[in-house]
Every structure is written in C-alpha cells, then in structure tokens.
Chain A
Amino acid sequence: MTSPIVRFDPHPMVNGPLTTFNQVRPKILTDVVQRTMQDLSQIPSESLLSEALFLERMRMKRLRANLFTMPRKRRDQKLWGRVQSGIVRSAAEVDRKRMLEGVVGHLADEIGGHFNPKIYSFATAALPYGFSWLLNAASVQRFLPWGMTQSLRERLRIVGNVDEIRKLSQKGTILLVPTHQSNIDSLLIGWIIHLMGLPPFAYGAGLNLFSNPFFSFFMSNLGAYTVDRQKSNTIYKHTLKNYSTRILREGVHSIFFPGGGRSRSGAIESRLKLGLLGTGLEAQIENLREGKPNPNIYIVPMVMSYNFVLEASSLIEDYLVEAGKHRFIAIDEDSLPQAKLVNFLWKLFSSQSGVTVRIGKAMDIFGNFVDENGMSIGPNGTTIDAKRWLTTRGELRPEAQRDQEFTRELGSRIVDRFHKENTVLSSHLVAFAFFETLKARYPDLDLYRFMRLTLPQRSFPFKEFLESAERYHQTVMQAADRGNLYMEDELRFAPTEKWVRDGIAQLGIFHEAGVIKIHDQSVYTEDMSLLYYYRNRLTGYGFGDEVKK
C-alpha cells in the first residue's frame, strides 16, 4: 500500500545539522585526527605505518584506476612515497608520531564529506523531474494500460513507519540501516530521505561510486563521505570509525549499509559488519556522559525490494566463485556506466514495476524498540534507561568487551528485523518456487551439480509448476500473517496464474536471458545463476522445508 504521508511534490529542504556542516567540517576533522591518534597511542607508530604502507602498496598495485580515479590514486601514491622515504630514515630524524598524524589527517580528509545546501536543493528538485521525465517518456511509448497517468508515487512506494522516523529525527539522531542490493540504493536513498520530509542524512558511500564524476560531484556535496573497503589497514579503520562517531555526535543523521557491500547471493543480509555499527553506541555513550540534551541514537532498519536488480548477474557470479573455490577475485571497481544505468532506470520505471521501500520499526542502540517519543520499550511493559544499561561497576562509561557484545546483539536484532520488514514481490516468490520445485526433482545433487543441469533437465510442465507455486504462496502468506514478513498486495490477492506470470514478466523486463520462461506448456530456466540469485531473497525463513512437509 502506498503511504499517503510521503510528499511527492517538490518541497523545500528541511534544515538539519548537516545544513551547516561545512562550517564545522574543519573542527570535526581535527577532532577525528586527535581521537584517532589517541586510539592508536598504544601501538608503536612505526609498526602502524609499516603495516599500512605494505597494504596500501599491495592495494595500489591491484587497483585499476580509470580516468576519474587517477588523481586520487596519484595523491595516495605521493603520500605513501613520502611515508616510505620517511620510514627508512632514523626516528631521530623523522618523528614517527608526526608522520602518523599526517597520514591520519590525509585519510580523514578523504573520508570527510561536504555538504552544499544549494546543490542539495538543486538535486532534490531535479531528480524527481529527471525520473518523471524518464517515466512519462517511457509510459507514452508503452501506451496502455498504465499510460501517462502513471505517477511516480506508484513506482517508488515508501511504506512503514515514516511518521515515526520523522518524529524521532527531532528527538535524537537517526542511524538508518538499509539492506544493500544494488548501487542504485545509494542514489535512491538520498531522495527517499528527502521525500519523507527529513533533513539531509550523511552516508558512507563506497569509493567506487565516486569514480563517476557525475555522482561524485553530487554525492560529495550531499553529505556522503567515502568508505573505501579496499583499505584494510588499522589506521584507516580507526579513522573511519571515529569520523562516523564524530558526525553522529554532531547530531547528523546517518546511513550505514550494515552488511558492508551489496549482497552477493541476493539474500537478505544475515551477517553484519559490526565495526561501523558500534559507532552508534560509542556516540550515545559520549553524548550521555557529556549530558547532551538529545543524546539518543535511533537505529531504523530499511528494506528495499526490487523486482529485478541491476547488477544481479555479476553479483551472483562473484558469490558462486567465492563460495565454490575461494578463488582470488581481482578488484573490480565496478563503476556505474551511465548507459547501463539509464537503461536500468528506464526499464524500472517504464514497466509496471517499481521499488518498495519499507521503513522499519525504530530501535535503540541495544535493539529494543522505541516508541514515537523516543522511549526505549522493554519486555512486560517496562521502559529502559540507557544510562543504566551502560553502567558498569556503578559508572556510566564505555567498556570495550561489553559494548562489543551489545553491538553483536544489536546486529542480530537488525538481521531479524530485515527479514521481518522484507516485502515479498512476485518475482521473488516465483523464482523461489521454481528453484525449489526443480531442486526437489533432483534431491541427490549438490548445489554445484544442480546448477549445471542441461536445458531439458531444467524444465517441467507449467501446470505442475502452478500447483507447486500455489503451495509456496500459501506458506509465505501464513508467514506474513504471523508477522514474519510482508507481501505486496498484488501478490497476496492475485490468483496463482496471474502472479506467476507477472513475476516471470518482471524478471524478463531486465534480463534478456530467461530467468524463467514458459513455452509450449512447459516452464524452464535459461540462467540458473540468476534464478538462484532471485530465489535467495527468500532464504532464511525456512520456506523450503515447510512446503516439503
């Protein structure tokens, strides 16, 4: 169902802490450097620098820079060249601490985002026009049945606790944690935030997105800060963490993809990267200790559901290779070629397709639900005082082991909510039902042998498939009734053959190879990997076993 509370008409930017970000940026970066130096003071600077130098050299060797990433690579090379020539000289000649401080400063500046209100206003105003244009042009071409009246509202469905997150954004700092399937996520999220009437959010975007000058310009001026997952050295990790903590403490609403990168398998994230997630807790502890007026950090899960995914093919291939042989994968910067992107958006909005975005129930930093006043709700009608939960031996303070455990618990709560806030679309269910039905015909094959079935082996009568699909539909519907996930209405109430055909058509809009095809009373797949990818969206619920019973 479409949420009427979401405004789709152009509307002005809501002011938030990010609006004036550029004024405090230098101060924030200084704090980050100072804090990082403090964190690292226990480790000898020389060993930190040597480790980073080695890892960075390795990374740069593997990196295939393009025209736009070249300047960044050159800057990095220059920095590490200086470190190398410094480190070969004696410590008396070149002060290691100062060298380290220089490196941290460089990294903090690379990570640190900018925010330009003018560009924000322009982008949020232009983006819907861009989309509408695309949409209308596409719709005109397709004539009926949707025609020109088809509005953006029906294509981008923002549902769930929109009102709640809006209220909470006044009472504390929001940490929005979305599932991550596609690079498109990073583009849509900024806009979704704006549509919900929220002030701009800061978010950590993969460095690869900055390799495209168009996105780079917008994103780096819209509060995005860069996260380079290829940089694995200790100095970088600490700097990034401290940056994230620092802007949360500044009250800047932020977005993390807690799963790290995009889901390779197509499944909803079941393992999270806890490092960055822990910065929410860290920020709240410091806020409470300082006695800030709105100290709370609210964790809001968000699940984005696409009928088809731009990078599905390359993601699942990566996943299968990784899961199969642990083979070395060359770093692929995976930038977004504009033509491919436009093609995708065109198809996304020109079809009767769309994106469903569900804003989940907000939680506190321990994973307890919060009410709309921002109060943490415990079991059996209790309310929770975060200060008490963060008190160890009578004192409110950080405690590394405890906080790690709190973050682990929060992580598993988020994973649970991701599954429950998921909206099943017809393409997901049809892929799941088809894969499972086919798999049941070959009970003795392991996944890899199963994936290599020949084309005739991958087909069976359509009628038989409909019967099986009906059973899966029933199972998923029961799970939806129990509150284990959501089901879009079109899927829920449609007769079997209708949603099955619709799901197959959805997959067919974007993928030229038939993920599922119907021909002459039989149904088959031309691309087992893609089928597997879309099927994986419904793993983790136990649906396969349930139907078999």
Chain B
Amino acid sequence: MSHKPFWRNSKVAVIGAGSWGSVLANLAAPNCREVRLWTRSEEQARAINATRFNAQNWPEMRLHERIRAISEPERAFEGGVDVVIWALPSIAARIQAKEFAKYFHGQEILLHATKGIEAGTLKRISQILREEIPCPRVGVISGPNLAKEIARGEPAATVVASHYKEVIEAGQEILTNDRFRVYGDEDVIGVEWAGTLKNILAIASGALDGLKLGWNTRATLITRGLAEMVRFGKAMGAEEGTFLGLAGVGDLLATCSSPDSRNYRVGYGIAEGHKLEDILKNLGSTAEGVGTAETVHKFAQAKGILMPITEGVYHLIHQDLTAREVLHKLMTRPLVE
C-alpha cells in the first residue's frame, strides 16, 4: 500500500533558513510539490529567490527550483501545508512556537530538527511544540547529519521518531533519496535526548583535540560518555537501545570527530585557553551544548545520576577548571570495581 502520490503532491514548509534548514528544504524539494522556506529576514528571502543560493550558509549549494523563500509566516502557511519542518535553534523554541501557533490548522505533520532542550524545565522540543502549537502529530529528525556533508550529497542516514506512524511515513517519503536514508523509531524521548546529550560530549571531544591528545583518549571519552547518555536517558524514560542507533552512537561519533561541529569548536577553543565569550562571538551562532551541559549537570546532580564527564564539561564552560585539570580529575576518580 503506497501513499506516494499524496506525498509527491504535498506542500512542505521549512521554518528556519539556517544551515540545516536549507539542507532539509533541498532534501524535501524533489519529493513534494513545493517547499516554502521561511526566514525572518525579508532581505534574505529576496536574495534566495533571486539567486537560488543561501549565500549566508551555503554559497556553493544551489537550492532546488521548487523552493520558495518567504518571510511572512502567513504566506508560508497559506492554503494549508501538509508537512512543517521546524529547523530553529532551541534557545527561543517556546517563544517562536507561540508566534507560529496561529498559522497551524491541525492536519500538519510537524517534524522538528532541533537538538537541545529548554533550560530549566528540561522539556524536549517536541513537548514544547505540542504545548504551544495546536498540532498533535509531532516528530523529530535526528542522526549523524553534519549539514555540510549532506549539502555535498555524501551518503548519510537519519532517524525520524514519533508516536504516530504517519509522521514517520511523512519523514521517510519527504526526505529520502538515493544518498539519504530515513529510519523510523517510536522512542521519541530517546532520540531527542540522545541528540541533546551528545552536544555535551562534543565539547569534551573538542577539548581533547585542543590538548592534542590521541585516539585512545577520545575512544575512552566516547564510550564512557555514551554510558552517561544511557544512564541519563533511561532516567528520563528513554529506551537503552535507541542510544546504540543512528540517533545515539551514530550522531555521537560524527559530532565528536568533526571539527565542523560548533560544540566541538567551543571545547577546542577552551582547551587552547580562549575565553568562552570570545569563542561564541567568533562562532557567530549558538552552540547548544553550552546550555545543555549546565541544565543536565544540575538535574543529574539533584537526582543522583552519575555523570562525571558532564560535570567536567560544566566546569570547562564555567572556566573554573582548565581542560587539563578536568581531565586529571576524571582520570583520578576512585576506580570502579
């Protein structure tokens, strides 16, 4: 039973024309009738429509002709859309969700591609969207997806997780091509937390490279870091197996190994002795792991979940310990029997 004709004829709105949002729009475009790429900047929208390039993020990636950049939200939702891909950073997720609520009709499939959580409340992005937007069918896209590589058309895969089968179906039908595979999963909690927690380890991984350390150290970090992710994830209601999949260890390996990751660059910069504010200023965009490390560390401490690496990263970003001191502290913890 194929529902292809419906999806081929569908309308997709991508909210956020950042680096990942633009790539997702380009993945979706060949699989549907039209993609509306929303960006807050009217100027950027005009430039994209005129040049077919998103000069800010991808000067070398041509955008598909079915993509139309739009800066007014009402026009992005005009006449109703079938799929909405939410590609905004986690920082202002709730405020933006409140703004967009009125444009939704309720039949949309809402997929978000945001890695992060709400500081303080520990709410996942899908929870925030569900609370603020009158649209029940929500899912998440997450996996080892360094935008740059996918923009170049290198083979990769991702996970779409939702409690609703039709959300998974939409994700698969809209995003799949011969170089991009989409796997379905029901463990929304696990997929969202895996995508969030790995950002903390990406900072740690960057710090190791900043200290010019080798593969043994990194392998130890990734393995023990994964154990922390599983412990925390299970406490939040996730399934252990999810962390062994693409959205878990898959994403973790990609993020911890790539110097392109913003979180990695934060860790690298700190290990080299730079100030956090300066690093963030140079990045020009957010690094989700910074806020996440703080929130997760505090919660884990309150609940008695053992997360020594996360604690180390917390000290790194607060700059009350140097990278070497953190490493020393981790290595001299009492041995586990």
Contact = CB atoms under 8 A, between A and B. Distances in A.
B102 A393 contact: no
A388 B105 contact: yes
A382 interface: yes
Contacts of B131: 379
A381 B101 CA distance: 9
B125 to A, nearest CB: 15
Nearest to A368: B134
A380 B136 CA distance: 15
Contact of B107 (A366, A378, A388, A406): A388
A409 B136 CA distance: 10
Contacts, number: 53
Contact of A380 (B3, B102, B106): B102
Given A393-B3, A401-B165, A406-B136, A381 B106 contact: no
Contact of A399 (B105, B132, B163, B166): B166
A75 interface: no
Contacts of A378: 101, 106, 134
A385 B166 contact: no
A389 B165 contact: no
B132 A385 contact: no
Interface in A367-390: 368, 378-382, 384-385, 388-389
A403 to B, nearest CB: 10
Given A393-B3, A406-B136, A382 B164 contact: no
A379 B132 contact: yes
Contact of B6 (A388, A393, A401, A405): A393
Contacts of B134: 368, 378-380, 382, 384
A380 B95 CA distance: 11
Interface residues of A, number: 22
Contacts of A394: 6, 82
Interface in B91-123: 98, 101-102, 104-107
Contacts of B102: 380-382
A391 interface: yes
A402 B98 contact: no
Contacts of A408: 163
Interface in A343-377: 366, 368
Interface string A486-508: 00000000000000000000000
Interface in B132-146: 132-134, 136-137
24 contacts: A368-B134, A378-B106, A378-B134, A379-B98, A379-B131, A379-B132, A379-B134, A380-B132, A381-B102, A388-B105, A389-B107, A389-B136, A391-B107, A393-B3, A393-B166, A394-B6, A394-B82, A399-B166, A401-B164, A401-B165, A401-B166, A405-B164, A408-B163, A409-B136
Interface of A: 366, 368, 378-382, 384-385, 388-389, 391-394, 399, 401-402, 405-406, 408-409
Given A384-B134, A392-B166, 16 more contacts: A368-B134, A378-B134, A379-B131, A379-B132, A380-B101, A380-B102, A380-B132, A381-B102, A385-B106, A393-B3, A394-B6, A399-B166, A401-B164, A402-B164, A405-B164, A406-B136
Interface of B: 3, 6, 82, 98, 101-102, 104-107, 131-134, 136-137, 163-166
Q: Closest 4 interchain pairs by CB?
A: A378-B134, A388-B106, A380-B101, A391-B107
